[in-house]
Amino acid sequence: MAIIEEPLALETGSPGTVDQPLGMLTRPKGGNGWRDWVSTVDHKKIGIMYGVAAMFFFVVGGIEALLIRVQLAVPDGQVLSAGLYNQLFTMHGVTMVFLFIMPLAAAFANYLIPLQIGARDVAFPRLNALSFWIWISGAVFVNSSWFLGGGADCGWFCYSPNSGVTFSPGNGVDFYVFGLLIAGIASMVSSINLIVTVLNMRAPGMHLFRMPVLTWMLLVTQFLLVFALPVITVALFLLMFDRLFDSQFFNPEAGADPLLWQNLFWIFGHPEVYIIILPSFGIISEIIPTFSRKPIFGYSFMVFSGIAIGFMGWGVWAHHMFVSGIGPMSVAAFSLSTMFIAVPTGVKILNWLATMWGGKLRFSTAMLFAVGSIAMFTIGGVSGVTHALAPADTQQTDTYYIVAHFHYVIFGGGVLGLMGGAYFWWPKIFGHMLDETWGKVHFWVMLIGMNLTFGPMHVLGLQGMSRRIDTYAAGFGFEAWNMVATIGSFVIAFAVLIFFVNVYRSYKAAPSLPAPGPDPWDARSLEWMVPSPTPEHNFDEIPVVESEDEWWHRKYGYDEDNRVVRIATIEEAAQDGSAVGVHLPAPSFWPLVVAVGMPLIAYGLMFTLWLTVVGGALTAFGLYSWALEPVDDPDADHGHGDGHHGDGDDDHDDGGDTDEPTMAGVTAGDDAGGE
């Protein structure tokens, strides 16, 4: 389609002709209203939207969790029916994993990758917008199930044959299938985009081994996504065909093997858990050096262990199937491979400690979260190792001991780390700090809350409490710890509220406080050399990178005794964001239009086919108009300058084609159409 785009794009030299290709939507102009947000292709705005949406779904998933906890507070809980409970824990898992923590990581990836590698935007800005809109339409789609007959009730891993029509006749599972397919397309597009960005858009001198560890971890994450998503896509398609078109993939009576689903799901699912944790590892690796006043210890080991984790993550999936009846040899092999994943992970933990060793630790909120995350992750990590022993896992699997494990790694390792990231980059993103006192209260309440909630689950699990049970009988010794866990979950909720209050208060207080400046933490990577909040064009001038921790080295040097001395103040070294005439990619409505069609297609397949036609038409129309829309928009007023930046292409799954060379690095005023 871009083939058609290209010549038209050439014609745009004559203004007005193709500006409104089909006369339907006016080409969006730069501005600050809602139009600007829905049509933006700016990686920073997209990042912020990911973040906000993710936090919204955190509350949704959290409320689901609270309902679960309320039901389980006492034996024979009567708050929820079994059916509703099953929907709640399924939707809790799905929401938290696919609609909260992955997009929150995507928020950081979108916002920070271009900044950390010294680029103006991602490789394909419009595709980036497309990813976001597809993801959000998938997210809304999944949650619309609550109003259309109930959510999926098959658990987040939705094992067949329970997920088939015979056993799950409602539409819940269809929502799961289509929702994950849609969200999967989004992640797929975005991960390809980010991989290309990292590989191709780095500032001069930004060798791969000078990239910040965060960028590295995000890169590994994107590779995991790009290779793992097709696998669950296959699984979801097979399930969809079974449910909608009576195929026989998961029908045991026809000789199908339910373990096929399990294999496909976990081949995706295990890399998925590293997709969850690696961004957080990256964030921690940025925060700890900054607040230790030391470079990260063993940079190359950090990078390679991240790669190793990503790589080994592909060879362990069947540890989720130790009791499923795969043969003893398979179990033994996977048991061993799982154990050794502790090695690269341990390297990371120990390197963080070594970074702190001899450092000057300043416990800002971000640092507290980072350090807390290390400790909590380790708890989850070592309980993970105890599951890796297949015989021991036959006792542990599907009990609350597992629930404890994964909430410690996900909440303790993942969420705490991401929260730390929020405190750390908040000034960069919004131009004001979050209040530190409130932040610290937030941290401690959250830490206590999570230990109260998930700590007891270890005990419950070992005492034999099964997962995914909507009630339990009195007399097994489960009562006390369940009550504690429930109380703990409300403590977490309280902590989350503190965070929101902090966000609000800090926003209100910001005007009366001194501006944080480009680099409030005396940090190390490139994003801190641009003003806060980041100007639309990121860098006035693309920096030429000479070392790892480039920004820090622009501030500090060594004297003859090899002691660190300041060579420039932040103000001297930083850019002031005053560049004009920088070409930025032009905004577009079409990604949104394309995305909106997708859930309609799915609704149609579930309810009435004509909706599919409408959705398909809308998506096709969006794609077509997208192709016709010139990449560049010579007329638009782009504030700082006008956009000129090859957008990649339009169509995610035919692999697309464009001929636009990407010119993200085009610096101020080197092309026509500027101000």
Partner whose binding site includes residue 364, from Cu ion, another protein, ligand HEA, none (CB under 5 to 8 Å by kind): another protein
Q: Which residues contact 358 (CB under 8 A, 6 or more apart)?
A: 294
Closest CA to 172 of 184, 155, 186: 155
Q: Is the peptide bond before 585 cis (omega within 30 degrees of 0)?
A: no
What six digits make up the tokens of 299? 């940079």
Partner whose binding site includes residue 483, from ligand HEA, another protein, Cu ion, none (CB under 5 to 8 Å by kind): none
Partner whose binding site includes residue 19, from Cu ion, ligand HEA, another protein, none (CB under 5 to 8 Å by kind): none
Alpha-carbon gap, residue 406 to 408, rounded angstroms:
5
Radius of gyration of the chain (CA): 25
Number of C-beta neighbours around residue 375 at 10 A: 14
Distances in Å between the Cα of 480 and the Cα atoms of 75, 383, 452, 549 are 10, 22, 12, 50
Closest CA to 642 of 600, 603, 617, 670: 670
Q: Which is nearer to Cu ion, 29 or 468 (CB)?
A: 468
Q: Choose which of 28, 271, 414, 648 interacts with ligand HEA (CB under 6 A).
A: 414
Please report how close the Cβ of residue 276 comes to Cu ion at its closest, in angstroms. Answer: 11
501 binds ligand HEA (CB under 6 A): no
Alpha-carbon gap, residue 361 to 349, rounded angstroms:
17
Q: Which is nearer to ligand HEA, 192 or 288 (CB)?
A: 288
Alpha-carbon gap, residue 488 to 608, rounded angstroms:
44
In contact, 250 and 151? CB cutoff 8 Å: no
Which residues in 418-477 contact ligand HEA (CB under 6 A)? Answer: 453, 467-468
Please report how close the Cβ of residue 289 comes to ligand HEA at its closest, in angstroms. Answer: 19
Q: Choose which of 9, 25, 53, 101 interacts with ligand HEA (CB under 6 A).
A: 101
Q: Which is nearer to another protein, 17 or 81 (CB)?
A: 81
Please report how close the Cβ of residue 34 comes to ligand HEA at its closest, in angstroms. Answer: 22
270 binds Cu ion (CB under 5 A): yes
Closest CA to 471 of 73, 75, 65: 75
515 binds ligand HEA (CB under 6 A): no
Q: Choose which of 202, 387, 524, 553 interacts with ligand HEA (CB under 6 A).
A: 387
493 binds ligand HEA (CB under 6 A): yes
Q: Which is nearer to ligand HEA, 130 or 273 (CB)?
A: 273
Which residues in 67-86 contact ligand HEA (CB under 6 A)? Answer: 68-69
215 binds ligand HEA (CB under 6 A): no
Please report how close the Cβ of residue 50 comes to another protein at its closest, in angstroms. Answer: 20
Q: Is the peptide bond before 533 cis (omega within 30 degrees of 0)?
A: yes
Closest CA to 672 of 12, 6, 8: 12
Segment interacting with ligand HEA, rule: CB under 6 A, options 255-263, 345-353, 421-429, 501-509: 345-353
* DSSP letter assigned to residue 566: E
Partner whose binding site includes residue 563, from Cu ion, another protein, ligand HEA, none (CB under 5 to 8 Å by kind): another protein
Please report how close the Cβ of residue 270 comes to Cu ion at its closest, in angstroms. Answer: 4
Q: What are phi and psi of 661, to 5 degrees?
A: -70, 140
Partner whose binding site includes residue 183, from Cu ion, ligand HEA, another protein, none (CB under 5 to 8 Å by kind): none
Closest CA to 633 of 19, 6, 8, 1: 19
Q: 365-388 and 342-356 are packed helices; what angle lies between their axes, rounded to 10 degrees?
A: 150
Closest CA to 310 of 204, 191, 193: 191
Q: Which is nearer to another protein, 37 or 301 (CB)?
A: 301
Which residues make up the interface to Cu ion (CB under 5 A)? 270
Which residues make up the interface to ligand HEA (CB under 6 A)? 59, 62-63, 65-66, 68-69, 89-90, 92-93, 96-97, 100-101, 155-157, 273, 276-277, 319-320, 322, 338, 341-342, 345-346, 349, 378, 381-382, 384-385, 387-388, 393, 396-397, 402-403, 405-407, 409-411, 413-415, 453, 467-468, 489, 492-493, 496-497
